[in-house]
A and B are shown apart, each in its own frame.
Chain A
């Protein structure tokens, strides 16, 4: 149950100002930066929850713990002046601010992102709000609350809040699901004395039951390898070569699929229209065939179609 804080001053929730100020916001756009390139991510609305969106990466490269996440969206208030004065929630001489409060209880983190500040004389405000979730700080999900807050009150009217930072109301909130088992190809790094710079993990017992997670299927990058600086997912090394990484990912995916093909019965089911449980390895490989349109009809066509897809997304065009 949502709690209501007892406040000694009016907030947006105590008024019908949210309609009157004509607040609107677009959908968040998601991307991340690797090296000097920006990569776009998909933002899918949750059909069961209008206030939730899932961040997805169909090229399997994005990992929020390594890459972070940049979210942007347009925000508009057409009649901000109505927030000020006796019929508003702030003194006419106040400065108000718009900010996003990002809370992720699963990540044990709360931080804020300022968008803009404005006074009573603004006729309309329109900004692009930016939320930059740094690498290594977030996992799971986060709630982004767009709030109005008091930057400064220079007025003398005692009925309005004076304390800078006072939250005057919530404009909207979006639940961002940051990790999606359906689309993230598991890649992780280890320190190993093995000479190989990478290898594939194929540890499943049943592809129709085991989830598509790093415990069962993964690409492993060896940090001890001499070419590690060129393929590192974590270092922003000037030696980073996206072509090498794309080739490793392509080869590893091909290896994993070849391994799955060893079970003829299950492979035939993947090649048919059998419905598999969401999130299983079989479901994911079928998705590669049907949605990503990879051609599994022969080894050479499979190698080509996997590379066409992976290179187009990992190597900046």
Chain B
């Protein structure tokens, strides 16, 4: 797979144009995304576009109506997209850390999918800049890939789904937006496992644990904890569980 990229500045120009054109022109843009955009893509990216749309639709359908419908739809999309991009396009942590690769996917391959998901609550703008291209930790598809990657239980997406089913949308940002100078991947996976095990009686416990972890990491390296990551994480939770 040859990954194509789109820079932050080029994304800004494109988003500004989408925001500034009049309603008729934007309607035309929406139609062109559906009718003309696929023909501009390489075979690989056409396949990716078709796959991501299929995943998006089926994930929305599978999510039950209720308070957590949006979270569940995002979760199902994340799980399926993680397998799809990794298996069919060889995506890995190295490529998934490149914002320009995600900007190309989100702005050039499936902009209509992003618009469909994030068209509400954008104030006067049509485009949710943070979710489309601007904020490295909030670009939507990138965020969902990393949410699954940082929660992965062994190699099992089934087990990963099981431990993530009871979470909410806020948990995604709590986890993904605390990268510091780099994710301690195994540590985060254990935190997410233990969070599930905690039963989430305290709705704020993930946020508290992640904040405490940041404080402790200033003097202690969790990955060098002699009794292992599991004990380190247990200590974090027990601090609040009493």
Chain A interface (Cβ within 8 Å of chain B)? 5, 7, 64-65, 97, 99, 101, 103-112, 114, 135-139, 147, 149, 151-152, 163-167, 188-192, 214, 218, 220, 234
Closest to B92 in A: A136
Across the interface, name the chain A residue whose C-beta is closest to B93: A137
Q: Do the beta carbons of A99 and B224 come within 8 Å of each other?
A: yes
Decide: A165 and B95 in contact? CB cutoff 8 A: no
Q: Which residues of B contact A (CB under 8 A)?
A: 1-2, 43-44, 90, 92-95, 97-98, 146, 179-185, 218-227, 232
Contact A104 B182 (CB under 8 A): yes
Contact A107 B97 (CB under 8 A): yes
Out of A5, A108, A114, name the residue touching B179 (CB < 8 Å): A108
Q: Are A65 and B1 in contact (CB under 8 A)?
A: no
Chain A residue with the shortest CB-CB distance to B179: A108
A91 CB to closest chain B CB (Å) equals: 15
| CB <8 Å contact, A165 and B232 | yes
- Please, how many angstroms separate the alpha-carbon atoms of A64 and B219 in the complex? 31
- Residue of A64, A108, A192 with highest tally of chain B CB at under 10 A: A108
Q: CA A81 – CA B117 in complex, angstroms?
A: 61
The reply to whether A110 and B2 form a contact with Cβ atoms under 8 Å apart is no
Beyond A137-B92, A165-B225, A188-B1, list 16 extra A-B contacts (CB 8 Å): A103-B181, A104-B182, A106-B97, A107-B93, A107-B97, A109-B185, A110-B223, A139-B94, A139-B97, A149-B224, A164-B227, A165-B220, A166-B219, A166-B220, A167-B224, A218-B2
Given contacts A5-B218, A65-B92, A165-B224, contact A108 B1 (CB under 8 A): no
List the A side residues contacting B43 at CB < 8 Å: 191-192
Residue ID in chain B nearest A139 by CB atoms: B94
B93:A136 contact, CB within 8 angstroms: yes
Nearest CB in chain B to that of A11: its residue: B219
Report whether A214 and B220 are in contact in the complex, using a CB–CB cutoff of 8 Å: no
Are B182 and A108 interface neighbours, CB within 8 A? yes
Query: Could you jot down 25 A-B contacts, CB within 8 Å?
Result: A65-B92, A65-B95, A104-B182, A105-B181, A105-B182, A107-B93, A108-B93, A109-B183, A109-B185, A110-B180, A110-B183, A110-B184, A136-B94, A139-B94, A139-B95, A139-B97, A149-B224, A163-B219, A164-B220, A164-B226, A164-B227, A190-B2, A190-B44, A191-B1, A191-B43
Q: Which of B93, B219, B227 has the most CB of A within 10 A?
A: B219
Rank and list the top 9 A-B pairs by shortest CB-CB distance, nearest first.
A136-B92, A110-B182, A164-B226, A165-B225, A112-B223, A108-B97, A165-B224, A165-B220, A109-B182
Q: Which residue of A lies closest to B89 (CB)?
A: A191
Which residues of B are found within 8 Å of A105, using beta-carbon distances? Answer: 181-182
Question: Could you say which residues of chain A place their CB within 8 Å of the CB of B92?
Answer: 65, 135-137
Bound complex: CA A165 to CA B217 (Å): 10
Question: Which residue of A is nearest B150, CB measured?
Answer: A108
Residue in B43, B179, B184, B224 with the greatest tally of chain A CB atoms within 10 Å: B224
Which residues of chain A have C-beta atoms less than 8 A from B98's C-beta? Answer: 139
The docked-state distance in angstroms from the alpha carbon of A114 to that of B218 is 19
Contacts of B182 in A (CB 8 A): 103-105, 107-110
Question: Contact at B221–A112, with CB atoms within 8 Å?
Answer: yes
Docked-complex contact B181 and A138, CB < 8 angstroms: no
Instruction: Check A188–B220 contact: CB distance below 8 A.
Output: no
Contact A111 B184 (CB under 8 A): yes
- The docked-state distance in angstroms from the alpha carbon of A139 to that of B101 is 13
B137: min CB distance to chain A, Å: 10
A152 to B224, CA, bound (A): 11
The interface residues of chain A lying within 8 Å CB-to-CB of B1 are 188-191
Whole-angstrom CA separation of A167 from B94 in the bound complex: 28
A99 to B182, CA, bound (A): 17
Which chain B residues border A189 with CB–CB below 8 Å? Answer: 1, 90
Q: Are A110 and B44 in touch, CB under 8 angstroms?
A: no
A75 to B23, CA, bound (A): 66
CA distance in complex: A7, B220 (Å): 11
What is the chain A residue whose CB lies nearest that of B43? A192
Is there an interface contact between B224 and A234, defined as CB atoms closer than 8 Å?
Answer: no
Judge whether A151 and B226 touch: CB under 8 Å: yes
From B95, B146, B181, name the one whose CB has the most chain A CB atoms within 10 angstroms. B181
CB–CB A108/B224 < 8 A: no
- Nearest CB of A to B120, in Å: 29
Q: Give every chain B residue within 8 A of A106 (Cβ-Cβ).
A: 97
Decide yes or no: A234 and B183 within 8 Å by CB, A97-B224, A165-B221, A165-B232 being known contacts: no
B88 smallest CB distance to A (angstroms): 8
Inter-chain contact B97/A167, CB cutoff 8 Å = no
- Which A-chain residue is minimally distant from B225 (CB atoms)? A165
Decide: A152 and B226 in contact? CB cutoff 8 A. Answer: yes
